Structure formats: C-alpha cells, structure tokens
Structure 1
Amino acid sequence: MVDIIIAEDHSIVRHGLRSLLQMVPDLTVVAEAKNGAEAISLLTEGLQANLLLTDLNMPVMDGIALTKQVSAQFPQVKSIVLSALDHERYVVQSFNAGAHGFILKNTSADELVFAIKHVSAGNQYICSELTTRFLNRMMTSSEPVDTEETNEIRFSARETEVLNYLADGMTNQEIADKLFTSKRTVEGYRESMITRTGVRNTVALIRFAMRYGVIN
C-alpha cells in the first residue's frame, strides 16, 4: 500500500489528483496540503505516509524546500515533484533536494500511476517527455571541452561499463547491483569521471562520452 500526501496550492488540481489516485488499487491519499509548511506539520504531528506528491511553486514553502526538509527529517517518505515547469534546472534542483521523481502536469494518468509505483519500489523516475527532450538536447548540443586535455583522458573498462549503464538511465544502486559492488563505489566512479572531464553533471558526462566515442 502506498500512502500519499498531496501538496498543491490549487484546490481543483489537488482534488483532481485525489480522485484519480483513489481509484487505483494499493494507492491511498492520506492527506492534502495547500503548501509545504502544511505538509511538514502533518508529518511532524505523526501522519503516516510513504510518498509525497508535491507541486513546485507554492506559497509559504515551495516544493524544493519541502522536498529538502522531508528528505532530511522523514527519509522514509519518497518525494515526486509534479510541475508545469519543464526546464532542466528545475529537475536538477528537485533531485538535488532529495526528490525521487519529476513529472510534468501534462503527463498521462497512467504514467503518473506508474511513476508513483516505480518510486515507491525504491527507484527514480523522470517523465518520458522530459527524458526524450533531455536525450535530444544531449545528442545535439556540445559541451565546451579543451581538445588537448580531452586526448589525455582515459577511461577504464569498469568506468566504461558505468557510463553505458548511466546512458541507459540506470540509477547508481541499479548499476551497483549489476556490477556486484556498492552504490558508493559507483558514485565514486561517476564523480571521478565528472572531475576529470570537467563537465557539470551526469547528463553532460554522458554527452561527453558519446561525443568522443567512449560509448555509442
């Protein structure tokens, strides 16, 4: 059973989400909040929930601040950000704050339900529209890199494996399971490659690897 808190300042959207989710077996909306502060109060008062579905822009406390506080104080509650804002920086901010998923508000009901169940099972999720858009951007835009320094960068066989799994959209834990190693070890590989290549994040690292033929 997935017990869900909905944090959304628009009552029509909030009630619509409740009506939709309550029709799905094993999903229960246990509470609604008009802002992040209300959601934190509910959890502080002892409300039992294991998933937070939150809007990004809300008064008093927004979705980023809410997600960050929930991640710190109530780690058993996984967060999915639901937003109309589709810029990459909002996705990055959300995941940096501790979110496990990011869904656009025009996402289909079926995909929303899938995302909730997928995240509840311990995975991360970005809606298909954003995933496709980011992949297209990754394939067409370039990352400014010093060519001479690039020629000196070498990747081990294990790093190449990690890169291929990252390009397939796998999480650090999923890669760790594949390679029979720890999540921390995989994170170490990723951080080392980001540092050596001088790129900004994992998406840019994958773009770098594809651009220079490290992976196909």
Structure 2
Amino acid sequence: MTVPIRTVPIRVVVCDDQLLIRTGLVTIIDAQPDMEVADECGDGQAAVDLVRRLRPDVVVMDIRMPGLDGIGATRLLAGSGVPHPAKVLVVTTFNLDEYVYEALRAGASGFLLKDAPPDRLLHGIRTVAMGAALLDPEVTRQLVGKYAARIRPAEDGPAQDIPLTPRELEVLRLIADGLSNSEIAAALMISRETVKTFVSRILTKLGLRDRVQAVVYAYRHGLVT
C-alpha cells in the first residue's frame, strides 16, 4: 500500500539506547524528503521530555532501555487519560513475548521489527503519522500462534450476531490468520485499496482500534479456531 507523501515534513523523535542503531534510524529518516528528525535520545525518560516539549508527529521507540523503558514511556505519552497522546511506533527486536501486547496496550500506534527493511520502516512512520494503526504482518502471525489458544470465546457474542457483511467476515477471518492487506487482496482477487476499505469498515463497525483487536475479536467470536 502506498501512503501519500505530505507537503509538510513528518517530524520524528527517535529513541533507542544503542547508538549505532539510533544513528542508522536517524540517517534513514532524515534522508527522506517528507521527513525530518526533530531530535533523538537513548532512554525513555528523555523521550518523554523531548516529545512533550517538541510535539513531533511520530515517535520511533525502542522497548528495552535503561531507566524508564519504551513501554513505560509510551504509556506516559500515549496511554489512557493522556490529553494529547503522541503517535508512537515501536521498533524492536523483541517479538515473541508479552512486549508486543504491552506496547499496544500502553498506547502504541504501531509495532515493527528492527530487521524489517528500511522501506517498511518509512511506510510505518507515514502510516502512523496519518493516524492509522500498523502491525507488522509477521508480528500478527506470531501473536496468533502464541496467544490464540489463551483467548476465551465470548459467551454473549455468537457469530450470527456480528454486524458484518459476508465479505467483511471473510476479510476479518483472513486478518485473524495474520495476512497482510496485499495477501488478502491476492486471496480474494481484489485490490489492496478495496481491502483497506474493508478493514476500515470492520474496525469501525466493531469499535476496534487495530488489527490486533480484530484478531482477538475473531477468536472470541468463534470465527477462527
């Protein structure tokens, strides 16, 4: 999916305690005509202070850092009750444990792995800046594989009561299987823009924030097992 390039640069704060990685992220982001790095830091508390002062469009946040970690910083910047929540894109090497859930619960708008190619990182920043949620498809697959068995079916939500059309239900099942928009488009032989429209409708109708919540919803309502 192509995200439109803005005329006003996307201002980004980069937070990672590893100088080499942080420098690489800053270099990649600053090289884009539609982005600029407002500042960088190496720990969560510094990130909180910078973001509150600079009000960037997107915060690229690592998880494991000394002192206040990325999850704690995200909670302070984008968690429940924050008056003007920041848009946080978590970029980390840790993807097979509770970090993913905790980051999203803390208010992160997206989650990418550090081994993702640069174009996916840039796409993620643009997507989050536009106000959309982003979850790496590979992370979705791993979440499904690790946590699906723990999701208890809802007692009051039989599938026949779900307010979705048959096509929307089909798309929701594919989301729950961990497919990306491109993969869903190929499976259903429709365009990626059409898939994007379906995903938006599904999230709106069900009152869900992102694809992770859609996965949980699908399992709780017996659409996938």
Task: Tell me the SS of whatever aligns to 1:53.
Answer: strand
Larger-gyration structure (1/2): 1
Q: 1:22 to 1:210 in 2, by over 3 A?
A: same
2:25 is aligned to: 17
Q: Is the 8 A contact 1:56 1:63 kept in 2?
A: yes
1:1-216 matches, cutoff 5 A: 1-44=9-52, 46-72=53-79, 73=82, 75=84, 77-134=86-143, 137=145, 142=149, 153-156=158-161, 158-159=163-164, 163-169=169-175, 178=201, 183=204, 186-187=206-207, 202-207=214-219, 208-211=222-225
**Residue 205 of structure 1: CA displacement?**
3.6
CA distance in 2, matches of 1:206, 1:93: 20
Between the aligned residues of both structures, percent identity stands at: 23
Q: Is the 8 A contact 2:171 2:199 kept in 1?
A: no
Q: 5+ residue gaps in structure 1?
A: 191-200, 212-216
**Residue 203 of structure 1: CA displacement?**
2.7
CA distance in 2, matches of 1:67, 1:27: 21
Q: 5+ residue gaps in structure 2?
A: 1-8, 176-180, 182-196
1:197 is aligned to: none
Q: TM-score, normalised by structure 2?
A: 0.69
Between Structure 1 and Structure 2, how many residues are aligned? 188
CA distance in 2, matches of 1:79, 1:92: 14
CA distance in 1, matches of 2:151, 2:123: 37
Greater relative contact order, per chain length (Cα 8 Å cut-off, separation 6+): 2
Deviation by residue 1:107-152 (Cα, 9 ceiling, x = unmatched) = 11111111111111111111232234445x28xx656868xx79x9
Task: Tell me the SS of whatever aligns to 2:224.
Answer: helix
User: Residue 155 of structure 1 aligns to which amino acid in structure 2?
Assistant: Q
Q: TM-score, normalised by structure 1?
A: 0.72
CA distance in 2, matches of 1:145, 1:101: 25
**Residue 75 of structure 1: CA displacement?**
3.0
User: Residue 186 of structure 1 aligns to which amino acid in structure 2?
Assistant: L
Task: Tell me the SS of whatever aligns to 2:91.
Answer: strand
Deviation by residue 1:141-199 (Cα, 9 ceiling, x = unmatched) = 656868xx79x9452251566654544549xxx769637xx94x622xx6xxxxxxxxx
Q: Which runs of 4+ in 1 moved over 6 A?
A: none
Aligned-residue Cα RMSD (Å) equals 3.4
Q: 1:205 to 1:2 in 2, by over 3 A?
A: same
Q: Is the 8 A contact 1:143 1:204 kept in 2?
A: no
Q: Is the 8 A contact 1:54 1:80 kept in 2?
A: yes
User: Residue 122 of structure 2 aligns to which amino acid in structure 1?
Assistant: V
Task: Tell me the SS of whatever aligns to 1:118.
Answer: helix
CA distance in 1, matches of 2:143, 2:84: 28
